[in-house]
Amino acid sequence: MSAALDYLAQEKIWFDKPHYDEAERYFYERMNGTSHPAQELVGANSILQDIARARENIQKSLAGSAANGTGDQGELVTQIKILELENHSLHQVVEDLRSALSKLECRVSVLEKFPSPAPAPVPAAPCTNATSVKQKTTSAPVEEEDDDDDMDLFGSDEEEDAEAERIKEQRLKEYAEKKAKKPILIAKSSILLDVKPWDDETDMAKLEECVRSVVADGLLWGQSKLVPVGYGIRKLQIQCVVEDNKVGTDLLEEEITKFEDYVQSVDVAAFNKI
């Protein structure tokens, strides 16, 4: 350890060089007229100027926002006043309508309590509608005659009554004749019958001949055909047209089932009005 210290003591090392460098720098700064405090002062002044400008900008922005807020508030107050005026006018209109409605209700109640008198009925003529106009026109000049012609007036009324009766009877007769000449609508129906035989050995031609032999007023036979039923048995399907007020299905079934040797049963397959 002591040997190391001795070696360092013999070495030519400038341990105080940083102090000398600092002193030299300070000397030259004094010579050039600059120093750290002056630079620090300039920096502080610039910072203060920036702060002042920032404050000024903030104050301006605050003043502008306050002015805008005041303007908006004034516009809002104006709109509120306009709405109040409109509301007041609407209230006035509603009050007017209510008063008009109350007056109308009063008038209706008065009219219901005291209805207007009905007009006096016009005396009807003692005859039919066809002669009422004629009697009215003929009675007008009669009223303008003198009071001395009262007997003639009654006589003319009797003649007019007789004429009215004659016209009435004539029109009734003409109506009856016209109705008699009108063709009467005859109700007809189309019927499809299923005629079934006893078995497959039944003569279907003879069965159809027996069916068509049924004759009645208002009965007209139509087309026919044989329809298979099963096990070789066929049924006769025949169509006919009948007048409803003369021939019915019961009559047809009764007449056809009389042919017991050929017919087992009769059914109505279809029934349509014509």
- Please, which pLDDT band fits residue 61 given cuts at 50, 70 and 90? confident
Note the pLDDT tens digit of each residue in 132-147. 434 444 444 444 444 4
The least confident of 15-29, 31-45, 173-187 is 31-45
What pLDDT does 116 receive?
A: 54
Note the pLDDT tens digit of each residue in 79-124. 888 988 888 889 899 988 998 998 888 888 888 776 555 555 555 4
What pLDDT does 175 receive?
A: 83
What pLDDT does 142 receive?
A: 43
Contacts with 207 (C-beta within 8 Å, 6 or more apart), sequence order: 195, 197, 236, 259, 262, 263
Instruction: Quote the mean pLDDT of the chain.
Output: 77
Residue with tokens 């002044």: 45
Q: How far is CA 82 from CA 10, 89, 94, 96, 218, in A?
A: 104, 11, 18, 21, 92
Is the pTM here over 0.75, yes or no? no
What pLDDT does 242 receive?
A: 93
Q: Is 140 helix (H, G, I), strand (E, B) or coil?
A: helix
Mean pLDDT computed over 229-245: 91
CB 216 within 8 A of CB 247: yes
- Please, which pLDDT band fits residue 160 given cuts at 50, 70 and 90? confident
What pLDDT does 144 receive?
A: 47
Ramachandran region, residue 257 (left: φ > 0; alpha: ψ -120 to 50; beta: rest): alpha
What pLDDT does 47 receive?
A: 76
The least confident of 9-18, 186-195, 256-265 is 9-18
